[in-house]
Structure 1
Amino acid sequence: MSSTHYDVLIVGAGIAGSSMAHALSTITSKSRDTPLKIALLERSLAEPDRIVGELLQPGGVGALKNIGMESCVENIGAISVHGYCVTHSGRLVHIPYPNGYEGRSFHHGRFIMALREKAKHAAGVDVLEATVTDLIECEYTKRVIGVRAARQNSEEGNEKGGKESFFADLVIIADGCFSNFRNSVMGEAARKSSTRSHFVGAILKDVTLPMPQHGTVCLVRGQGPVLLYQVSEHDTRMLVDVKQPLPSDLKGHILQNVAPQLPSALHVAIHNALESDRLRRMPNSFLPPVEQGGKHMKEGVILLGDAWNMRHPLTGGGMTVALNDVVILSKLLTRVDNFGDWDSISDLLHEWHWARKPLSSTINILSVALYDLFGADGELLAVLQTGCFKYFELGGECINGPVSLLSGIAPSPMLLAYHFFSVALYAIWILFTHERPVPGQAQDTEKPILAAPRIIEYPGLCIKSFRVFWMACIVFGPLLWTEIRWW
C-alpha cells in the first residue's frame, strides 16, 4: 500500500470541493513561499448528469468572481437569468432581480466539468479519480490524518482490496448530500436530515417560457410547486415537486394532476418529454448546520457543502451558499500557517460558522418557508400562499426585498423576517377586504361569483386570522431556531 502526503485533502470534486481546491491554491502568507499541495479526490471524473444544481443566483455569480472562477460559467451554453415570474390561478407576477443583477442557468454537468478543469490547472492541485473508502485516524489522538482510497486508473486500485493512503494536515469532506462520512465526522453533534418531498425532473425541448430568461414558478392547486428554467439554447428544465409518499406512477401523476395547471404553451413539450425521457428524482432535504470544531466532532477534518448543510432547492440557493462558504473559509485559512494546529483551525471554524450566517441563514430559512407557502398543504397555508402572491403584485419593495433575499444579494435574516410577517399580515388583510368566490359554488365553475366578506362573517374571520398568524409563526420560528442554536 503506497502513501502520499499533502497539505490539504479534499474529498469530492463537486461545486464546493472544486471551488475550494482552486481558492486554497491562491493562499499565500509570510511563512509560505510556495503554493499549498492539495489533492482533490473524486470517485468519477466523468461529466455528472443531475437534475439539480443548474441555477446559480447572482450572489453565487459574485462568489465565483471573488475566487477567480467566473470563467466557469462561460462557454458552457449558460443562459443569463434576470429574475423570476410566478404563476397562480392563471395570473402572473414579474419578479426581476434589482439593479441589473444577473444569475446563470446551465446543465449541471457542464458547470462541474468547468470547475474541475479550473481546479486542475491551479498551482499545487492534483485532481485524482479515486474512491475514498475510509478516514485514517491517528492511533493515539483519534485525529483524522488522511484517507484511504482506490484510484480508478492505477493497477493497485484495481486489485481486490488494493488501496492507497493519502495523508494531509487538513482533510475537507465535500462529498455531497449523500455523504458517506457526515455521521462519522460529526459524531454526537450530528443532526438528521429531513425529506418532505422529491423533485422529479425532465427536459423540455424548444419551449418558450412565459418570461424568457426568467425562472418560472408555477403554483399548482393541491400539489407542490413546479419550477422551470432554461439551461441551454434548446433545453428547459422542469422540476415537479412531488410530496411523500411518492405515487407509483409518476408520469401519470404529472400528466393528470400537474400538467393541466401549467401554461398551455408547455403542454405538448411536457407530453413529449414524459414519453421520451427517463424521469429522475432527487430528495428535497433539509439539514441545519452544526458548528464544527466542537469536542464531539473529529479533529483534523472539516465538512463543506451539502455534506454539512442542506436546504430546499426550490429557491436555487444551494450553490450560492456553498460558494459563499468557500469564499469565507478560504480567506480565514490564509491566517493559518500550520494546518496541523487544530486549536487554531477550531477557532477559525467558530468564526466561519457565524461569519456565514447572514447569507446561509437567510437562504436556508427562506427555502423551506417559501416551500411551505408555495406548497400550501392545508387551509391556513393556502391563505398565506394567496397573501404571498398578492404581496408580490404590490410591486416595489414588496418584490425587491424578497428577490434580493432569495438571490443572495441582501443577506439579512432580519429583512427576511420583516417580509415574511408582512406577507402574513397582508394575507389577513386580504381575508377581510378582497373579493373571493361565494361559498357553495362548485369548484369547477368557470366564472365563479365573487363577493367581499360580509360583516356577519367578521367574527369567524378574526378567529381564522389568529390561526393564520400562528401558522406563520409555526413555519418561521423553528427554522430560525435551527440557525441560532449553539449545538
Structure 2
Amino acid sequence: MGGIPASVLGFVLLYRSKGVKKTNESWENIGDEVVQISEQVLCQSENATNADIIIVEAGVAGSALAYTLGKDGRRVHVIERDLTLPDRIARELLQPGGYLKLIEWGLEDCVEEIDAEQVLGYALYKNGRSTKLSYPLQNFDQDVAGRRFRNGRFIQRMRERAASLPNVRLEEGNVTSLLEVEETIKGVQHKTKIGQELTTYDTPLTIVDIPSCFVALILENCELPYPNHGHVILVNPSPILFYRISGSKFRCLVDILGQKLPSISNGEMANYLKTVVAPQDDQELSYVFQIPQELRDAFDFAINKGNIRTMPNRSMPAAPYPTPGALLLGYI
C-alpha cells in the first residue's frame, strides 16, 4: 500500500515493456531521447565525471541507493529535477519490512522528527463490516512497526543522509538524454538549475528511478476508527485507503484502476467521488454500504473544499532491460 514497499524492500529492478524501450530512440519518463554518440565525440567533451555511478532522481529508492552505495565506497552522482521539499500524495506508508531495511542500512533515523506515526496493521471494511488485522510483530522489538508520514519529509531526510557522505554528490538538474555508445549507456545529458547544458559520461553504471493514478484528498477534524492502523475500504470500482499524515490530518487515496480520469476543473471528479466512490449500492443484498460513517462528513467536506489531487501510478511488469550500462528502478 502506498508504493513505498516496492522501492524500500529490495529496489525492484523493472522496466515498462511499452514505455521504456528504444522506440525512435526515446525512453518514456527518462528524457527526450537516448543519444547515440561516438567515443571520439565523448572524449572531446569537458564534462567527464569521476563518479562510479549516476543516479537519476532522488526519490526514496534513488536516495537510499545513493546512501548505501556511498557507504560502500562508491563515488555517486545523483541528479534530481527538484531538490526542494516534495509535495506528493502517495508513498506515505512504510511497511514493517521496509522499516527493518532502514535499520539494516542505518537509515532508521529518517523516520524521526518528521511527525511519523507507528502503524500496527490495517482495518478492512467491506459490505458495511470491518475487522482489524495487525502485523505479526510479536518476535520483534517494540520499535519495529510500520510508519506513516508525509512523503516529502521522509524523502528530504533520505536525501540529507545521502548528501552527508563525502563521496555522494546531489545536484539539481533535469536529465534530458541518456548517452549510448555502441549499445552501452555511458552517461547522461542534463540541464542544470541555471540552464547550463552538461554531458556527463564515462560512468560504469547509470541508474534511472522511474516513478509510478491516484486521486487524493486531505481529511480534517475526524478520527480513524482504529488508531495506528491504515484503513482499507474494499469497494467497487476501486479500493480506498485512509491513513494519518500529520496531527489531525488524514490522507484519503483512491485508485481509479487505469480509467481515464474525470476532469477536476469542471467538477466531474468531485461528482465521481461522491456518486461512484463513496456510496456502494448492492441491489442483490438490498442495502447501501459506503466509507465508514465516522469519515463520511470529512470526506464530503474535503471534496467540497476542492483540494483534489492526482498522481500517476503505473504498473511495470518484471523483466530485465537489456542495454548494458543502465539499470531501471520501478514500483509495482
What TM-score results when the alignment is normalised by the length of structure 2? 0.76
> Letter of the aligned partner of 2:208 in structure 1?
I
2:159 alignment counterpart: 116
SS at match of 1:63: helix
Asked which structure has the greater RCO (Cα within 8 Å, sep 6+), the reply is: 2
What are the superposed Cα offsets for residues 88-120 of structure 1, whole Å, 9 maximum, x if unpaired?
222111100112451001111111111101101
Q: Cα deviation per residue 1:237-260 (whole Å; 9 max; x = unaligned)? A: 101233424344111121223334
Q: Is the 8 A contact 2:244 2:251 kept in 1?
A: yes
CA distance in 1, matches of 2:299, 2:255: 15
Matched, 1:44 2:82: yes
1:228 counterpart = 2:228: no
Q: Report the alpha carbon displacement of residue 2 of structure 1 after superposing the two structures with TM.
A: 3.8
In the alignment, what sits opposite 1:9? 54
- 1:279 counterpart = 2:314: no
Give the SS at the match of 2:172.
strand
The whole-number CA distance in structure 1 between the counterparts of 2:320 and 2:188 is: 23
DSSP 3-state at the match of 2:214: strand
Q: RMSD of the alignment, in Å?
A: 1.8
1:277: how far off? 4.1
The AA in structure 1 aligned to 2:247 is: E
Where do 1:39-438 residues align within 5 Å? 39-100=77-138, 101-138=144-181, 141-153=182-194, 158=195, 162-177=197-212, 198-220=213-235, 222-243=236-257, 244-248=259-263, 249-260=268-279, 261-292=290-321, 297-304=322-329, 306=330, 310-311=331-332
| C-alpha deviation, 1:84, in angstroms | 0.4
CA distance in 1, matches of 2:262, 2:76: 45
Shift of residue 9, structure 1, vs aligned partner? 0.9
Take 1:111 and 1:2, find their aligned partners in 2: how far apart are those partners? 36
- Equivalent residue of 2:77, what SS? strand
- Shift of the alpha carbon at 1:146? 1.2
| CA distance 1:2–1:151, change in 2 (3 Å) | farther
Q: Deviations over 1:47-70 (max 9, x none)?
A: 111111101101111111111111
Larger Rg: 1
Distance 1:84 1:303 in 2: 31
Q: What is the one-letter code of the residue matched to 1:9?
A: I
1:314-370: CA deviations, max 9, x gaps? Answer: xxxxxxxxxxxxxxxxxxxxxxxxxxxxxxxxxxxxxxxxxxxxxxxxxxxxxxxxx
Residues 257 and 291 of structure 1: CA distance in aligned 2, closer, same or farther (over 3 Å):
closer
What whole-Å deviation, never above 9, does each CA across 1:26-78 have from its counterpart, x for those lacking one?
A: 21xxxxxxx32210110110111111110110111111111111111111111
Tell which deviates more after alignment, 168-177 or 90-99. 168-177
Matched residue, 1:22: 67
Cα deviation for residue 167 of structure 1 reads 3.4
- Name the amino acid aligned to 2:278: A
Residue identity in the other structure for 1:303: L
Query: Aligned partners of 2:297 and 2:219: how far apart in 1?
Result: 9
The 8 Å contact of residues 137 and 145 in structure 2, kept in 1 or not, is answered as no
% same residue? 37
1:145 is displaced (CA, Å) by 1.5
**1:375-409 alpha-carbon deviations (Å, 9 max, x no partner):** xxxxxxxxxxxxxxxxxxxxxxxxxxxxxxxxxxx
Hey, what's the Cα distance between the residues in 2 that align with 1:166 and 1:136? Answer: 8
Mapped to 2, the partners of 1:41 and 1:22 lie a distance apart of: 14
**Which structure is higher in helix share?**
1
238-247 or 223-232, larger mean C-alpha shift: 238-247
Total equivalences in the alignment:
267
| CA displacement at 1:278 relative to structure 2 | 2.4
Task: State the distance in 2 between where 1:217 and 1:205 align.
Answer: 18
CA distance in 1 between counterparts of 2:273 and 2:185 reads 47
Structure 2 distance, partners of 1:71, 1:59, is: 16
CA contact (8 A) 1:216 1:229 kept: yes
Q: Is the 8 A contact 1:147 1:167 kept in 2?
A: no
Aligned-partner SS, 2:261: coil
